[in-house]
Amino acid sequence: MSVENVLFWVFALGIVSSAFLVILARNPVHSAMALVGAFFFLAAEYVLLWAHTIAVLQVLVYAGAIMVLFLFVIMLLSLTDADLQPGQVTLARVVGGASAAGLCLVMVETLSKTKGAGQVIAGEQTQVFGTLAEMGRVIYTQYLFPFEAVSLLLLVAIVGAVVVAKARI
Amino acid sequence: MNIPSLTFLDFQPVLPALLLAVGGIVLLLTEVFQSAATINRAYQSMVALAFSAVAGAVAAATTLEPAREVFLGFGVSDPFSGAVTVLVCVGLGLSVLVSAGFLRHRNAERGEFYALLLFAGAGMSLLAMSNEFITLFINLEVMSVSTYALSAWLRRGTRPSEAGFKYFILGAFSAAILVYGASLLYGATGTTKLSELAGLLPAAVASNPGLTYLGAGLVAVGLAFKVAAVPFHMWTPDVYEGAPTPVSALMSAGVKATAFASLVRVFLPFAQDLGPNHAQLMTYAFAALALLTMVVGNLMALPQRNVKRMLAYSSVAHAGYLLLGVAALFARPTGGEGPLAVTPLLAGAEGAARQQTLQAILFYLLAYTVTSLGSFGALAALERREDEPRGTAWDLEKFAGLSQRKPGWALAMAAMMLSLGGIPPTVGFMGKLFIFRAAVDAGLVWLAVAGVLASAAGVYYYLRVVVYMYMRPSQDGVTVPERQWTTELALVLSTAAVVLLGVAPGTLSAWLGKASVLFSQ
């Protein structure tokens, strides 16, 4: 068993256990922090898959920016203890749970049928795939047109947000 | 690894969009030096106008060049994209002229408004060139995000925020549907480039029919939202009514034109490379969409007393006529054999017929652009801002007796209404003539008949405005807003275009015929 395989299992266990913590924790702030943990473990898995760029973005965007937003929302809601009691079994919850379980089943079925799914665990990719250098090369050459269009999109989004946020024009 | 090289030739076709973007940035930067108390910002509309005029001229030059791929196949530079950009620049220029007076009247003239208009134009120009799904999506968003912000520009009453919010939510939703469809197509074919997609489609349909059909269907739905085709038109009346009138004008002209351009660009390979069965299937699909859009758009416009809402529904109806042209385009049986035949798309007799159909679509788009800009411009000239929160600014009564109060405006509005209704000698008539002829030539006679009947119903509500202007007496105490030379210039220009192109469409139509060339492999 190579080092990569050992690390894979460590991080995988980390992901699953922190994901369980997210749904089992009573306090929403604890849930959010457990989610941050899950994101970090996931980022580590990406590193093992030689997807460095996605790993970095995972930490920067999800574990960083989006989770801060989550925490802000939780604080703004200022939940009381009464809000945090387990609710009744409603139709929506049953349907939601059932579809989640169904999706899980479909994923397991698909992955078990996919040829060689077990092999693609760690360190098996060509070792440049998804590194920052490789991504940069592709973005600035092959994908130059959409990449530059994104810069225009961001400019428009900033100007538009400022315009819409103005109280009165 | 070999690094693909990009040369100046790759960047040259982007020049019109680049000019528009630079114009927007210039406006943003100069706005910094204006204080809130600055009333006169007349230079801004002139800067925006100059940039759109230059960009339009540059784009017109690209229509004379042969079609080629740029940016490694992510974009194409072909006469068609050049013609669409020219059209966008015409729409932008007229919209800027109308905006200047409209915003000054409301003390809402700011550099950001024109900057967003120009950015939207840049997005439209790039969208017309996009030949790859990621690029297409990003450029669609550049265009859409600018228009979301522009439709919520004024804060008078609840309507503008309703318009902005509704447009944003539904627009984001439709963009998500489009991306989902594109990702399914990527799953089925393994490429996002439209030029490669064409060759891979037959194999994908054979091995993964569900994925391919669903993907194509979702992409079509996403684009149908943008062109406001029934049943994806629900947002149109509310958004057009709530948005500032010049912005509604640009939405009905530019956004619609470019969405149609990408509709044609994305779906022509489907009709062309999948064999006659699929071409027929797509013809029926788009014919059904066209029929529904023409009928519902016209019927919904009939009872409207609010002229702005009426124009919104009329814009839905016109999307129907254009879809009729698109269906006629797909009805052409495929000419070349084999998916990767290196024959020009528009070769041979079938190719000539296809080129003619594309020319009819382009002519109709141009006709609708000038007419729509003119009619919204006349509406903008007449609007009084005190009435806006109550929503009575656009009532039919406001047009009563306009021929006595403002004969010039009444004449312009009458020309626009005749053109929208498709009555000679206006450009709208010629546009309808070309597009119905293309449909009949393609064997869609029943659809052309339905289109003529639907537009006959449309004549009623267009002529009602004319009747109010010329045959009803003025209401007492109605004041007309002060004249703005920019708005009046826009009215003169669009009226001249509507009448002159209606009388003598030859030159323009010949040029558009040359520009009706799509890049293909």
Residue B349 has pLDDT above 60, yes or no: yes
Segment A62-71 long-range contacts (CB within 8 Å, at least 24 positions apart): A63/A36, A63/A39, A67/A32, A67/A35, A67/A36, A67/A39, A70/A32, A70/A35, A71/A29, A71/A32
Residue B455 has pLDDT above 60, yes or no: yes
Please, what is the end-to-end C-alpha distance for chain B in angstroms? 26
Higher pLDDT, A42 or B336: A42
pLDDT of residue B484: 86
CA–CA min distance A154, chain B (Å): 8
pLDDT of residue A118: 53
**Are B74 and A146 inside 8 Å of each other by CB?**
yes
**Are A149 and B142 inside 8 Å of each other by CB?**
yes
Q: Where are the domains of chain B?
A: 8-515
Centre a 10 Å sphere on the Cβ of residue B478 and count the other Cβ atoms it contains. Answer: 13
C-alpha span between A117 and A98 (Å, rounded): 26
Q: Residue range B424-443: average pLDDT?
A: 92
Overall size of chain A counted in residues: 169
pLDDT of residue A113: 82
What average pLDDT does the structure give for chain A? Answer: 86
**B194, B269 Cβ separation under 8 angstroms:** yes
| Torsion sign, CA atoms A20, A24, A25, A27 | positive
C-alpha span between B245 and A22 (Å, rounded): 49
Q: Residue range A50-78: average pLDDT?
A: 89
Query: Which among B71, B141, B145 is the nearest to A145, CB-wise?
Result: B71
C-alpha span between A155 and B146 (Å, rounded): 10
For residue range B43-54, what is the model confidence (pLDDT) as tens digits? 999 999 999 999
Query: Which among B113, B141, B149 is the nearest to A153, CB-wise?
Result: B141
Which chain A residues are Cβ-neighbours of B139 within 8 angstroms?
149
Residue B283 has pLDDT above 70, yes or no: yes
Residue A50 has pLDDT above 90, yes or no: no
Q: Residue range B63-73: average pLDDT?
A: 87
Nearest residue of A to residue B28 by CA position? A159
Segment B343-347 long-range contacts (CB within 8 Å, at least 24 positions apart): B344/B520, B345/B268, B345/B272, B345/B517, B345/B518, B345/B519, B345/B520, B346/B516, B346/B517, B346/B518
Whether the bond into B425 is cis, omega within 30 of 0: yes
What DSSP assignment string belongs to B355-415?
Answer: HHHHHHHHHHHHHHHHHHHHHHHHHHHH--GGGTTTT-TTBGGGGTTHHHH-HHHHHHHHH
Read off the tokens for B481: 């807003």
Task: For residue B207, give every residue at least 6 positions away whose Cβ sits within 8 Å of its Cβ, in sequence order, or none.
Answer: B188
Strand B68-70 relative to strand B75-77: parallel, antiparallel, unpaired? Answer: antiparallel
One-letter amino acid identity for A143? Answer: Y
C-alpha span between B285 and B306 (Å, rounded): 32
Which chain B residues are Cβ-neighbours of A155 within 8 angstroms?
25, 119
Residue B415 has pLDDT above 50, yes or no: yes
CA-to-CA separations, B11 to A66, B16, B19, B172, in angstroms, rounded: 36, 10, 12, 29
Nearest residue of B to residue A164 by CA position? B149
Q: Residue range B392-421: average pLDDT?
A: 90
| DSSP category for residue B13 | G
CA-to-CA separations, B214 to B209, B288, B331, B491, in angstroms, rounded: 8, 18, 21, 45
Residue A96 has pLDDT above 80, yes or no: yes
C-alpha span between B295 and B457 (Å, rounded): 9
**B219, B309 Cβ separation under 8 angstroms:** no
Least confident of B27-36, B331-340, B396-405: B331-340
Residue B458 has pLDDT above 60, yes or no: yes
B333: confidence class by pLDDT, cuts 50, 70, 90: low
Least confident of A122-126, B40-44, B95-99, B426-430: A122-126
Could you tell me if A89 lies within 8 Å of chain B, comparing CB atoms?
no
Q: What is the CA radius of gyration of chain B?
A: 22
Which chain B residues are Cβ-neighbours of A152 within 8 angstroms?
21, 119, 122-123, 126, 142
Kindly report the pTM of this predicted structure.
0.90
For residue range A108-159, what is the model confidence (pLDDT) as tens digits? 998 888 766 555 544 455 667 778 888 888 888 889 999 999 999 999 999 9
**B521, B73 Cβ separation under 8 angstroms:** no
B354, B298, B302: which is closest to B321 by C-alpha? B298
Nearest residue of A to residue B103 by CA position? A169
pLDDT of residue B270: 82
**B306, B240 Cβ separation under 8 angstroms:** no
Which chain B residues are Cβ-neighbours of A138 within 8 angstroms?
none
Percent of chain B with pLDDT over 90: 63
Higher pLDDT, B158 or B203: B203
3-state secondary structure of B70: strand
Query: Which among B123, B142, B152 is the nearest to A164, CB-wise?
Result: B152
Nearest residue of A to residue B134 by CA position? A146
C-alpha span between B421 and B454 (Å, rounded): 10
> Which residues partner with B370 through β-bridges?
none
C-alpha span between B244 and B117 (Å, rounded): 12
What average pLDDT does the structure give for chain B? Answer: 89
Which chain A residues are Cβ-neighbours of B119 within 8 angstroms?
152, 155-156, 159
Q: Residue range B467-492: average pLDDT?
A: 85
A148, A126, A109: which is closest to A50 by C-alpha? A126
10 Å CB burial of residue A121 (0-12, 13-18, 19+) is: middle
**Are A153 and B145 inside 8 Å of each other by CB?**
yes
Which chain A residues are Cβ-neighbours of B71 within 8 angstroms?
144-145
Read off the tokens for B391: 């929503």
One-letter amino acid identity for B413? Answer: M
For residue range B219-245, what is the model confidence (pLDDT) as tens digits? 999 999 999 998 999 999 999 999 999
B521: confidence class by pLDDT, cuts 50, 70, 90: low
C-alpha span between B331 and B326 (Å, rounded): 9
Residue A87 has pLDDT above 80, yes or no: no
**Contact map slice: A 101-160 vs B, CB within 8 A:** 137, 141-146, 149-150, 152-153, 155-157, 159-160
B340: confidence class by pLDDT, cuts 50, 70, 90: very low
pLDDT of residue B2: 60
| Torsion sign, CA atoms B266, B240, B152, B483 | positive
Residue B248 has pLDDT above 70, yes or no: yes
For residue range B354-393, what is the model confidence (pLDDT) as tens digits? 888 999 999 999 999 999 999 999 999 988 777 777 777 8
Whether the bond into B4 is cis, omega within 30 of 0: no
Angle between helices B194-207 and B159-189 (to 10 degrees): 70
3-state secondary structure of A112: helix
B71, B56, B75: which is closest to B17 by C-alpha? B56
3-state secondary structure of B75: strand
C-alpha span between B484 and B172 (Å, rounded): 36
CA–CA min distance B113, chain A (Å): 9
C-alpha span between B433 and B452 (Å, rounded): 10
C-alpha span between A120 and B401 (Å, rounded): 77
3-state secondary structure B277-298: HHHHHHHHHHHHHHHHHHHHHH
CB contacts < 8 A, A to B, total 81
- Best mean pLDDT range from B46-55, B465-474, B506-515: B46-55
Query: Which among B6, B116, B139 is the nearest to A159, CB-wise?
Result: B116
**Are A156 and B145 inside 8 Å of each other by CB?**
yes
**Are B149 and A144 inside 8 Å of each other by CB?**
no
For B199-229, give one letter per residue: b (16+ CB within 10 A) or e: bbbbebbeebeebbbbbbebbbbbbbbbbbb
Overall size of chain B counted in residues: 521
Q: Residue range B40-66: average pLDDT?
A: 91
Find the helix or strand (DSSP H, E) in which B30 lies. Answer: helix B15-31
| DSSP category for residue B77 | E
C-alpha span between B233 and B227 (Å, rounded): 8
3-state secondary structure of B69: strand
